[in-house]
Amino acid sequence: MHVLVAPDCFGDSLTAVQAAEAIASGWARARDGDTFTLAPQSDGGPGFVDVLASRLGGLRYAQVSGPLGDRVSAEWVLHGDTAYIECAQACGLTLLGGPPTVQTALAAHSRGVGELIAAALDAGARRIAVGLGGSSCTDGGRGLVEALGGLGTARARLAGVELIAASDVEHPLLGPMGAAAVFGPQKGADPDTVAVLEARLTEWAGELGPGIAEREGAGAAGGIGAALLALGGRRESGAAVIAEHTGLAGDVAAADLIITGEGRFDDQSLHGKVVSALAAGARGRGTPVLVLAGQVTLEPAVLAAAGVAAAYSITEFAGSVELAIADAANQLTGLAQRTGSGWPESRE
């Protein structure tokens, strides 16, 4: 049996690449005659570049401004004339040096993302896909635009370049479903700080141009989505970008079984996320899809309707959330081995 192993990341516990390796290792212990294709996935958030580099190569490095001004080393990928950039590499929450606070929520910026775009342009990129997610800033992409010389200069530099905002976030820039209100508290903002950030974004939206703030995805990554849209970009599903640019359709067609996973498998997983995309691709072929996740909250009837044969929880296998997180790779390997041991031969 040929097994496609295509997980997303497991929160901060495992990258998608590490998760794929753990699943394949455990499954092979139970079924040493099976063959594997490892195809780690991403929805555009942290791990976007890591996933692409594992399939495409072309990994590059740049020293850019971190979210609080310190220089950081950021990875990006150049494959042919296409550049893949991850905003979390330049302004991610993990680059704050500690937990987010009110002070970091107000100070964090996206300048480093603009510097990565500039590096891609200097390298000759004619298509730039920016993975959005995991950011610490809520500046509406102002720092990004300023790093490229301002709106007018940035638009001129990107003329003729295909710019893609890779994200599954549909939120607008402003309002109760916008970047500050929805995502600000995750980045350390209290209610008063959310109000300050909203006021800043409202002022910035006036500079970006009419209609930008209301577009789907404008609120992604603290409003970096809005800046990319204002610079002529378009929003695409992050999972779809990974699928297209790594040839996932061919991998799915060649598979007898698909194993995927993520940190928490819940209702949101079935709406534009990696699991739902894989299940949709497998449904027409009758290929079973297994999900191994940190936690599983969906009932069997919901799984069946979504095209998922079964879903198993690392937390239940490990016996506690603490062990599932602290020993994630080994616990996922063990869960994959147990699942493989019990996989019915009649399904092959």
CATH class of 2-39+247-347: alpha beta
Dist CA 322 CA 252 (whole Å)? 34
| 172-193 residue pLDDT tens | 999 999 999 999 999 999 999 9
One-letter amino acid of 256: D
CATH 3.40.50.1100, domain 48-239, yes or no: no
Angle between helices 16-30 and 48-56 (to 10 degrees): 60
Q: How many CA atoms lie within 13 A of 325 on its CB side?
A: 7
pLDDT of residue 346: 40
Equal fold, 2-39+247-347 vs 48-239: no
pLDDT of residue 306: 87
**167 Cβ contact list (under 8 Å, min separation 6):** 43, 44, 131, 132, 133, 217, 220, 221, 225, 235, 237, 238
Say if strands 35-38 and 310-313 run parallel, antiparallel, or are unpaired. Answer: unpaired
The domain segmentation of the chain, as residue ranges, is 2-39+247-347, 48-239
pLDDT of residue 91: 98
Angle between helices 238-245 and 48-56 (to 10 degrees): 10
pLDDT of residue 272: 64
Cβ distance 312 to 339 under 8 Å? yes
Dist CA 164 CA 160 (whole Å)? 13
pLDDT of residue 345: 53
Task: Identify the segments of the chain with pLDDT beneath 50.
Answer: 346-348
Say if strands 257-260 and 2-5 run parallel, antiparallel, or are unpaired. Answer: parallel
* Radius of gyration, CA atoms only, the chain: 20
> What is this structure's pTM?
0.87
